Amino acid sequence: MPRAIEEGSMPAYMVFMRERMRDEKEYEIYKQKNRIAMQGRPIKKDVLYGKYQVLEGAEVQGVVILEFPTVADAKDYYDSPAYREAREHRFKAADYRVLIVEGVQPT
C-alpha cells in the first residue's frame, strides 16, 4: 500500500517515465509550453532523458527527474494553469507514468 506524502520542508522529486511515444509533433508543442510553465519556479533538472538501465519491471523509453524544494512546490507546478495547458499536449504525444516522491532532509 503506497504511503501518502505529508507536505513539509523535505525536497520532492517529480519522476516522469515515458512508456511510449505516439506523436512527435505534439511532444514538440509540449516541450515549448513546458519551458514557459517552468519559468520562475524553483525546479532543478536532475535527469533529462539520460542513459538508463531497467533492472526490474516494464521497459521505458526515457526518464526525467525534476527536483523541487517541497512537495507543495511540485504540486503547485503540476497543477499550475501553464503546466495544465502543456501537459494536455504530453497526453496526446505519449504514454507516461508520473509521480512525486518525497526526498530526505539534507544533512
As a whole number, mean pLDDT of residues 76-87 equals 98
Q: No. of H helices and E strands in the chain?
A: 3, 4
How is residue 64 written as a grid cell? 526525467
Give all domains of the chain, ordered by start, each with its CATH number: 12-102 (3.30.70.100)
Query: For residues 11 and 80, what is the distance between their CA atoms, to the nearest angstrom?
Result: 19
- The x, y and z cell numbers of residue 69, run together, are 524544494
Strands (E), 1-107: 12-21, 44-48, 62-68, 94-102
What is the pTM for the complete model shown?
Answer: 0.88
- pLDDT above 70 for 58: yes
